[in-house]
Amino acid sequence: MIILKIGGSIITEKNSKEPKVDYNNLNRICKEIKESFSSKNINADLMDGLVIVHGAGSFGHPPASEYKIGQPFPNEEFPEKRIGFSKTQLAVKQLNTYVCNALIEHGLPAVSMQASSFVTTSDKRIYDFDLDFIKNYLKNGFIPVLYGDPVLDEKYRMAILSGDQILQYVARFLVSDRVVLGTDVDGVYDKNPKKHSDAKLIEEVNSIEDIIQMEATTNIDVTGGMVGKVKELLSLADIGVDSEIINANHPGVIAAALQNKKVKGTKITKNSFN
């Protein structure tokens, strides 16, 4: 089984003041996924199933930031926080509808899965996650499509559950073969490639020490940026699940990665010398 994460900066115009889908990228990626399944030499990992997780982009981040979802608050603010929770949940659900619709239009049996309906966190980490939903749909040949979502939290009452944490949990407990992250950069750099022309791509990351001095390579957001993604993936590497971070803005890269072909990017894997 492969888990494909599509960053919110890829399928939306993330810095847009209003929620806006990047249909050029979304439709191209759907086409590449379809082509991967239609290939005569379909990759064995893909034959075992595909789970898609996507980011929130310009849909989820604005309301989550405005209402400071996940931050401590006094009881008198709870009514306002509930409204913020509801607005954020509705926004990310709308984006998921656009994503699933595009996948279905390309002949892919996508099924939407809203994390807030079956996941609870404690101190912003997953505490309870009913995986049976995903297992049953995979068993019947569907493509589960999950996304970052506001959820109830035992410590903070509510929190933002990132797509990266969902990805890590599903990959760990469903024993994924591989994880592919499609972002808006070629992988992990020693410093922000959008600000520094001399930034160097790190082709392989084996431990947290490899990135401890690294600047975040994408815009800071409520889910932790690139460093947060790598930390989640390193925990998977510890149990033998390799990941790769690639640039989903480049045509053909998603299709190649799903077919396990060599593409430019960063591999997250356990150091064979440890």
Q: What is the pLDDT of residues 142-174, one digit of tens each?
A: 999 999 999 999 999 999 999 989 999 999 999
User: What are the residue ranges of helices labelled H in the chain?
Assistant: 8-11, 23-38, 44-47, 57-66, 78-105, 132-139, 163-173, 225-237, 253-258
* R_g of the chain computed on alpha carbons: 18
Closest to 149 (Cα-Cα) out of 68, 92, 87, 111: 92
34 and 44 Cβ atoms separated by less than 8 Å: no
> What would you measure as the largest C-alpha separation in the chain, in angstroms?
60
Distance CA 52, CA 267 (A): 19
Residues 6+ apart with CB under 8 A from 6: 29, 52, 53, 54, 55, 99, 182, 248
pLDDT in tens, 76-127: 999 999 999 999 999 999 999 999 999 999 999 999 999 999 999 999 999 9
The reported pLDDT for the residue numbered 270 is 84
* Total Cβ atoms within 10 A of residue 105: 12
Per residue in 208-261, pLDDT (tens digit) is 777 766 544 444 343 446 777 888 889 899 899 999 999 999 999 999 999 999
The length of the chain in residues reads 274
The stretch 182-191 carries a mean pLDDT of 88
Contact criterion met (CB below 8 Å) for 177 and 240: no
Specify the pLDDT at position 43.
85
pTM for the model stands at 0.91
Q: Show Cβ contacts of residue 101 under 8 Å, excluding neighbours closer than 6 positions.
A: none
Give the range with max mean pLDDT: 14-18, 146-150, 200-204, 214-218: 146-150
Count of other CB atoms within 10 angstroms of residue 216: 15
Give dist(CA 99, CA 76) in Å, integer. 37
C-alpha 104/C-alpha 89 separation (Å) is: 22
Q: Is 201 exposed, middle or buried (0-12, 13-18, 19+ CB in 10 A)?
A: middle
Place of tokens 């994408």: 218
